[in-house]
Amino acid sequence: MKYVDDASAAVLQDLVRRELHRRQEQGSSTVDIGPEQAPDRYVAKVPEGGIPARSGLTLGKATCALYKAVESGDDWVLEDTTVERDIFNIYLMPVVDPGGNDSFVQVERDKFGRWLVERPSGVIAVTTEAIPQGDSGAVNVVLGDGTRDTAEYTVHDLILNNGESIPVCTKIEFFEYGGRLIWRTAYCQPSDTVEGCGYS
């Protein structure tokens, strides 16, 4: 007698749930977020102000509109599903709207029904204090309109040579690595500053 072991049965059940969910989604703008469903990925529009970073064990959160890709003639376009959900950020980096209100990110609904944003890419910031070689310093994120966010982030150096430092009011790019925020490279020359930086 042929049979399916428990592991294979679980895989088949998951595939069936996904197919049923896909069929329900076709031709409909509704989004089923029941925790009993298999995880799914969608596209979310980054709201004005972005999605804050995680602070300690407290997740960043923002309400975002969900979009889906639909066929339009020979093209595929993003269409608003008219559904909004709280999107959570488990990372130490914020998700920043670069301006123009046309930034989108991929989000995933986990098996507990929570919507999680993908890992943010490099974020541009301005130093609010010098970052010495091998040390850390505070930065403010640069928003899409060129202004600075009020939240400060601590960025570490792993690149500078002995005796070097990053001056205040310098634009840098940082990313998350090993549970810390690390600066990648000077975004512009040290003499370039953010207008109205207010630090010296």
Q: Which of 73, 90, 119 is the last residue of a domain?
A: 119
Q: Is residue 44 part of a domain?
A: yes
Instruction: Extract the tokens encoding 200.
Output: 């010296």
pLDDT, position 11: 65
Q: Is residue 11 part of a domain?
A: no
Whole-model pTM above 0.85? no
pLDDT, position 192: 47
pLDDT, position 149: 80
Residues 53 and 115 in one domain: yes
Q: Which of 94, 119, 144 is the last residue of a domain?
A: 119
Residues 114 and 144 in one domain: no
Q: Is residue 19 part of a domain?
A: no
Residues of the chain with confidence (pLDDT) below 50: 27-29, 33, 35, 189-192, 196, 199-200
Q: Is residue 109 part of a domain?
A: yes
Report H helices in the chain.
Answer: 6-25
Domain span including residue 70: 39-119
Residues 108 and 159 in one domain: no
Q: Say how many domains are in the chain.
A: 2
Q: Which of 68, 95, 119 is the last residue of a domain?
A: 119
Q: Is residue 199 part of a domain?
A: no
**DSSP letter at 114?**
-
Sign of the torsion angle spanned by Cα atoms 42, 43, 45, 46: positive
First to last CA, the chain: 79
Q: What is the pLDDT of residues 31-79, one digit of tens each?
A: 554 545 555 888 999 998 889 999 999 999 999 999 988 999 999 999 9
Core vs surface per residue 12-51: b (16+ CB within 10 A) or e: eeeeeeeeeeeeebeeeeebeeeeebeebebbbbbbeebb
Distance of CA 24 to the CA centre of its chain: 28
Instruction: List the CATH number of the domain containing 132.
Output: 2.40.50.140
Q: Is residue 65 part of a domain?
A: yes
